[in-house]
Structure 1
Amino acid sequence: MKNLAIITISFLLVQCEPVIPQQSSTNKKIIFDNYDYEDFVGITKVVPVENGQIKAIENQVVSLNDNGQLLLTFDLLTDQFENLSAKIYHCNKDWTKSRLRDMEFLSQINNYRITDFDYSVNTVQPYINYRFTIPKPILSGNYIVAVFRRANPDDVILTRRFLVVDSKTTINHKVRVSTTIAKREENHQIEFSLNYGNLQVNAPAQDISPVILQNHNWSTANASIPPTLMRVNEGYLEYRHLDLKTNFYGWNEFRFADLRTLNVSGRNVGKIVNTGTKIIAPLKLDGSRQNTTYTQNFQDINGNFIIQNNDPGESTLNADYADVTFALKSDPIDGDVYVLGRYNNWQMTDLNKMKYTNQNGLGRYQTTIPLKQGYYEYLYYVESNELPPHYFEGSHFQAENVYEILVYYRKPGNINDELVGYKRFRSIEN
């Protein structure tokens, strides 16, 4: 709860433009992806809200036909108020902007002021947390929510993807070992079938397009899956490929860092140093797991993250930011190494790219990333022409991952892709 003085100041700031120059870079082209356009954007998340309860580790998916909502929450690492607005874009199944007009997928004017915000309290890194309940579109499909400064379409700050589902299909799935013998120990093979009922379908292989996601990672989405069996008179399609077409690396259970307290070192955190102007939190030195036997030491959350503050105050507004150093012991390899997780949308950027260094004769890859107090899962990803992406992690069929099957449908004569099917499941069901 803000005190009266803060409320008064905030009200005045909302009513007029800030007199302090803001960080800005105009004429920024919108990327229809999860993307931050300025360095001072902190931790950002879109989370479902059901009956007033935030589902912190659920995916950015909402049903068209229930009361569920999606909440966009993000930090700007500054103490200067920003006059922000949001806009929603409808996208095709391949995340290109659709040709629909705003009035065809929204029941409101597509320009929303973001007025729900709070300043951080007693943090070394000042920030302002903004919250925006995303208006639910009236059509299913892929969407982008974009945040702009001063409602300027050329001054975008961040974009995030979300999905709206109108379930009109029934999906049955199976996770099995790969039918390619050489991959049986390291891959998951996803097989599924769907009934599309009374949908108007002229050419099933073209009108209906399934997509498979692993751990909600769009960079490894499988979107080129032809049916292996069609029974058009029954409205039935089957996808049971005997090659690698629906195979995914099983990877390993995720590594994790417990940063819920910044007063003492949490699990896998080497130490905590508060200089008064910043908090430094190097993690313990990681090693390669490429030749280790698979063991499930704990139930992970499949690369996700949770913002949580266990220090005095216990409010998310008391949660601070720390410069977190990830370090991986290794000889240099022929390729690039990245640290990835849901916290950075699985994206291979310069910030997440690790540099090789030799400290006191100990070779390692490392990088430093600012993270808000919480619990984070991550893995080391290799981009190489010679080595597999799981070179440092290993890949095991026994590893547990979360998969999603999305079913897109374009009605003959329409210009938009509907999302008519959605199923989320684990590779190992309890």
Structure 2
Amino acid sequence: MGSIVHRLTMKFFIFFIFLFSALMVQAQKDQKVVSGQTSIPEKKAKTKDRKDNNFDPAFLRYTDCSYKESITSVIFHREGWELTPPVITYGTDERLVLSFDDLEGDYSVWQYTVLHCDAEWNPTDLWQNEYIDGFTDDYVRDYRFSYNTLQRFTNYSLVVPNENLNFTLSGNYILKVYPDGQPENPILTRRFMVVEPRVTVKGVVKAATPVDLRFTHQEVQFSVYTGSYKISEPYRDLKVVVQQNSRWDNALWGLQPMMLRGEELDYRYTDGTNTFEAGNEFRYFDIKSLRYQSERVRSFDNRTDGFHVELQPDKNRATTPYITYGDINGQRLIKTEDANDATIESEYVWVDFFLPYATPVTGGGIYIMGALTEWQFAAPGNSPASASGPGRMEYNFARQGYQARLYLKQGYYNYLYAYLPDGATKAETALIEGNRFEAKNSYTVLVYHREPGSRYDRLVAAEVVGN
């Protein structure tokens, strides 16, 4: 009888222990919810939910994107070098400058933060205090109102890193700007990189080696030299990305070294693995002044809704001979010759584009590509019409050609016409611009290293090579 009572007592004791443990775990979860903390598994679940809600206009995109129609002329570059990509060196005094206009013309309170990403621009599992020294968010404090312009606007500017926010890790980052106290409603996001030079990249750009690509594609041949920097498993721990000009849609991802030779990792493929469409020299137009017609301007006038500029009709260059001239590889330079301060005294102008084309293309769309459209486009097959991109052109049957109108700030602009197949994310230049292996392009080789046991990708090299 005593043994039976003893066994019952033990079973009751074990049951009580299990019940107490379950209550403690639930209490800890409730405490986290109350305190506003989110565990890493919960962060992953939230990320999945956001991916499933990709058509939400406020959905956070880990790319260069403007979410508010009145936000325009977003420029992000290394301080002192307006045409450079947003890349700075870790541990130096280099800084990045963000500038943007709000066409509503009033003062708004904006906040900003930065988010760390892996080599493929997915959010990492790091807490913000693991990669930020200082405040995890701050206010955009510098602003100026437009002066003596038809279009009222407010210009905001920001410099990072600064005394309130600095970076403690290298790698990929997203800069997010949002209304005061509303981080879930971004107005813009911009990619930038912090490089921690540990390895050396040496490369050249040449005509593609495969015979069928010889006259239409360019080949980026390069090697990574590790020196004294230890990489135990290059095929597993290294991620290499090659970017053409400032485009992300056609970037090459996941390149593996063709050969290991001492301290050299050889990426000099000759089978087409590392090739890009060569494209053509960028088209251009100059609207720095509204007092005279520059080379590419057909007409301009001042109407009730502002200044209008009609560009000369463009030509299809797919079969025309290659002509070389200087360009700025799709970038833009905000500048005015009609006033002293280009930032707040430049006018906004309606710019009309026209591309003669006998019949509309099927299976895709024609886009204006470059910094003037933020290098963004989306095909109708994989995005709602409202997100098809500011540079998507419409076919005019009466004029027999493609047309588009953009609202741009005075300056000098580069652009190309690209064809984007329905449902695709990579644009093609062959249809309108043609591909000429002689075209001048700039390529950036990015080398990421994830050490064993680490939770982030360190950016150990960012080298620019050109032809």
Shorter-chain TM-score range: 0.7 to 0.9
Kept in 1: contact 2:200–2:224 (CA 8 A) = yes
Q: What residue in structure 2 maps to residue 412 of structure 1?
A: 452
Show the 5 A alignment for 1:173-184.
Answer: 173-184=203-214
- 183, 190, 193: which one pairs with 1:163? 193
User: Which consecutive residues of structure 1, in runs of 5 or more, have no partner in the other structure?
Assistant: 1-25
Equivalent residue for 1:61? 87
Which of 361, 371, 382 matches 1:342?
371
Q: Tell me which residue corresponds to 1:368.
A: 405
Q: Give the Å deviation of 1:330.
A: 0.8
> Do 2:99 and 2:155's aligned partners in 1 also have CA atoms closer than 8 Å?
yes
Deviation at 1:271, TM superposition (A): 1.4
Decide whether the 8 Å contact of 2:339 with 2:346 is kept in 1.
Answer: no
Q: What amino acid maps onto 1:91 in structure 2?
A: C
Tell me which of 358, 368, 372 is aligned to 2:397.
358
The Cα of 1:27 is off from its aligned counterpart by: 8.5
Structure number, greater radius of gyration: 2
Check whether the contact 2:113–2:137 (CA below 8 A) recurs between aligned residues.
Answer: yes
Structure 2 equivalent of residue 380 of structure 1: 417
Residue 193 in structure 1 maps to residue 223 in structure 2: yes
In structure 2, C-alpha distance between the alignment counterparts of 1:149 and 1:388, rounded to whole Å: 36
CA distance in 2, matches of 1:379, 1:221: 17
1:396 lines up with 2:433 in the alignment:
no
Cα deviation for residue 201 of structure 1 reads 2.5
| CA shift in 2, pair 1:191/1:284, >3 Å | same
Distance 2:62 2:393 in 1: 26
Counterpart position of 1:266: 294
Structure 1 residues 36-79: Cα deviation after superposition (integer angstroms, max 9, x where no partner): 01111111011111xxxx21111111011321100111011112
The 1-side partners of 2:281 and 2:335 are apart by 22
Specify the SS of the correspondent of 1:182: helix
Name the residue aligned to 2:280: 252
Q: Could you say which residue in structure 2 is the equivalent of 1:321?
A: 348
Corresponding residue pairs, total: 393
Whether contact under 8 Å (1:200, 1:412) holds in the other structure is no
How well do the aligned residues superpose, as a CA RMSD in angstroms? Answer: 1.8
**Secondary structure, counterpart of 1:399 in structure 2:** coil
* Aligned positions of 1:17-416 closer than 5 A: 28-49=58-79, 54-135=80-161, 136-231=166-261, 234-296=262-324, 298-331=325-358, 332-334=360-362, 335-348=364-377, 349-359=388-398, 362-384=399-421, 389-416=429-456
Distance 1:266 1:371 in 2: 16
SS in structure 1 at match of 2:129: helix
Q: Output the amino acid matched with 1:422.
A: A
Shift of 1:104: 1.2
CA distance in structure 2 between the partners assigned to 1:365 and 1:342 by the alignment:
20
- 8 A Cα contact 2:63 2:191, kept in partner: yes
Check whether the contact 1:124–1:277 (CA below 8 A) recurs between aligned residues.
no
| Aligned residue in 2 for 1:10 | none
TM-score normalised over the length of structure 2: 0.81
Structure 1 stretch displaced more, 172-181 or 269-278: 269-278
**Residue 388 of structure 1: how far off its partner (Å):** 5.0
Question: Which protein is richer in helix relative to its size?
Answer: 2
In percent, how many aligned pairs have the same letter? Answer: 29
CA contact (8 A) 2:125 2:455 kept: yes
Q: How far apart are residue 389 of structure 1 and its match?
A: 3.3
The 1:281–1:239 alpha-carbon spacing in structure 2 relative to 1, beyond 3 Å, is same
SS in 1 for 2:397: strand
Residues in 1 aligned to 2:404 and 2:297: alpha-carbon distance in whole angstroms = 15
Structure 2 match to 1:3: none
The letter of the residue matching 2:267 is: Y
> 1:67 aligns to what SS in structure 2?
coil
Question: How far 1:96 moved relative to its partner?
Answer: 0.6
Partner residue, 2:380: none
Structure 2: 5+ residue runs without aligned partners? 1-55, 378-387
Matches within 5 A, 1:417-428: 417-427=457-467
In 2, Cα distance between equivalents of 1:108 and 1:125: 38
TM-score, structure 1 as length reference: 0.88
- Larger mean CA deviation between 342-351 and 176-185 belongs to 342-351
Amino acid across the alignment from 1:311? D
Contact 2:204/2:466, CA 8 A, preserved across alignment: no
